[in-house]
Chain A
Amino acid sequence: MRERVGEDLLTTLLDSLEELVKNVSRINRWLLYAIYLLLLWIFVSLLLWSFSILHFNVEDIILYAFLISIALLILFALVDIRENLAMVIGRYSAYKYMEKMSLQIPQGEDPVDRLIKHFNISLNFEKELRKRKGKIIRGSIDCGEKLYFDYYAEIRKRPLDSLRGRKSYSLFIIKMDELSVAKLEELAQKIKRCSQHRNVEISRVIVITTKELSDEVYDYLVAQKAGIPLQVAIEMEDGTYDFIPFIAPRHDMLP
């Protein structure tokens, strides 16, 4: 009962969810161990199945085929459950993030530095990136051709990432003075080509500017016509960011 008592409804609800999320995290860890055990089970069963085929033992062939099918079925179900539980944890983290989020522009040398600082303050971005063996490139990157971005962060997919419900990650940040739909279209095409070449998912593309947007550009952005998660961050004169459209952090708390 005590955890449901509080001064304001939203905070109380979020706090009461904390207990639940802790349990979900624990269950998720157990699910991972279960997945590893299942993989071992499948591997051993496959070996035994091969032996039974070599010795043409019909009963064993049927038995191991049955066991492998069941193990595969359970494996897919567990992976799916894990992915969804990870999303539950992530959504909760995003709500917590919203609760303490500040749109104040931090101090920094240039708009890109300031934006990265903003993500570092609110999401621990670069620390999280390093933890996941991600890399940061400032300047030109190899996309089949050399393409220039003011900031590029990338996490490539590793062999076991699919089982852990993790996808690859890429963040592009580009500074622009004047924005137009044509320029954004061109940028989107460039980024699509680049992500295809590097085989990473486009997680977020942020164009940073200090200029106001035209209605045409605004409509293009909010309707997400670029076909990629494109967002403009405007540094306002009042010292705050205006993000158009607002994009919630991913469930792993990366921007």
Chain B
Amino acid sequence: MAHRYKSYKVYRVIVLNLLVQALDINIYQKNLEEKLDHILKNADYEITKSHIRHEIRSNHKMTEKVLDELQKEGLIELVTREKTTLVRITKKGILHLQKWNRFYMDLYKEQIIDHYRYVGLPKWFREAYHGEEQ
């Protein structure tokens, strides 16, 4: 059976979580907002458009759409460095995810499980349910 295309909204959640994972922080920790400026200032991660495309395993058009929507919402920013485009999560993006991630996980649970069925669920998916315990 053909693999159905997912809505860009599912990919949007995947991209935000991928960026937070690259930042290596627990978004469910207490007083996160106060620490964010410092964390973002010292962030040293390189997620490019190609990484995003690889993660969502869709086409160029979908990758562009997802990044465009996230950028418009102010949840990410795109930084051009030499020939590559780096994707960075913003403070607003992290706080948005902190507030809504569990809701998104419940809403898109089936699609996310389907998306990762051959490679195993990512750490961020499991953490969404156990985050506060850490």
Partner of B60, one of A222, A223, A242, A245: A242
Given contacts A218-B61, A234-B60, A240-B60, 16 further A-B contacts (CB under 8 A): A212-B61, A213-B61, A215-B65, A222-B5, A223-B5, A234-B61, A236-B60, A242-B59, A242-B60, A242-B61, A243-B59, A244-B59, A244-B61, A245-B5, A245-B59, A246-B59
Name which of A212, A234, A240, A244 has the most chain B CB atoms within 10 A of its CB: A244
Which chain A residue has the least Cβ–Cβ distance from B83? Answer: A238
Chain B hits for A212, CB < 8 A: 61
Chain B hits for A234, CB < 8 A: 60-61
Q: Measured between alpha carbons, how far is A243 from B61 in the docked complex, in Å?
A: 10
Name which of A212, A243, A245 has the most chain B CB atoms within 10 A of its CB: A245
Which chain B residue has the least Cβ–Cβ distance from A242? Answer: B60
Q: List 13 A-B contacts (CB under 8 A).
A: A215-B65, A218-B61, A223-B5, A234-B61, A236-B60, A240-B60, A242-B59, A242-B60, A243-B59, A244-B59, A244-B61, A245-B59, A246-B59
Q: Measured between alpha carbons, how far is A104 from B75 in the docked complex, in Å?
A: 32
Chain A hits for B65, CB < 8 A: 215
A-B pair number, CB within 8 angstroms: 19
Residues of B within 8 A of A (CB): 5, 59-61, 65
Which chain A residue has the least Cβ–Cβ distance from B65? Answer: A215
Residues of A within 8 A of B (CB): 212-213, 215, 218, 222-223, 234, 236, 240, 242-246
Q: Measured between alpha carbons, how far is A243 from B5 in the docked complex, in Å?
A: 13
Q: How far in angstroms is the closest Cβ of chain A from B28?
A: 31
Q: Measured between alpha carbons, how far is A104 from B10 in the docked complex, in Å?
A: 28
Q: How far in angstroms is the closest Cβ of chain B from A179?
A: 12
Q: Measured between alpha carbons, how far is A222 from B61 in the docked complex, in Å?
A: 12
Q: Measured between alpha carbons, how far is A223 from B59 in the docked complex, in Å?
A: 15
Chain A hits for B5, CB < 8 A: 222-223, 245
Q: Which 5 A-B pairs have the closest CB atoms?
A: A242-B60, A222-B5, A242-B59, A244-B59, A218-B61
Q: How far in angstroms is the closest Cβ of chain A from B10?
A: 14
Q: Measured between alpha carbons, how far is A246 from B59 in the docked complex, in Å?
A: 8
Q: Measured between alpha carbons, how far is A223 from B6 in the docked complex, in Å?
A: 11
Chain B hits for A223, CB < 8 A: 5
Q: How far in angstroms is the closest Cβ of chain B from A220?
A: 12
Q: How far in angstroms is the closest Cβ of chain B from A9?
A: 10
Which chain B residue has the least Cβ–Cβ distance from A245? Answer: B5
Q: Measured between alpha carbons, how far is A236 from B49 in the docked complex, in Å?
A: 14
Q: Measured between alpha carbons, how far is A244 from B60 in the docked complex, in Å?
A: 9
Q: Measured between alpha carbons, how far is A244 from B62 in the docked complex, in Å?
A: 10
Chain B hits for A240, CB < 8 A: 60
Q: Measured between alpha carbons, how far is A213 from B61 in the docked complex, in Å?
A: 8
Name which of A215, A234, A240, A242 has the most chain B CB atoms within 10 A of its CB: A242
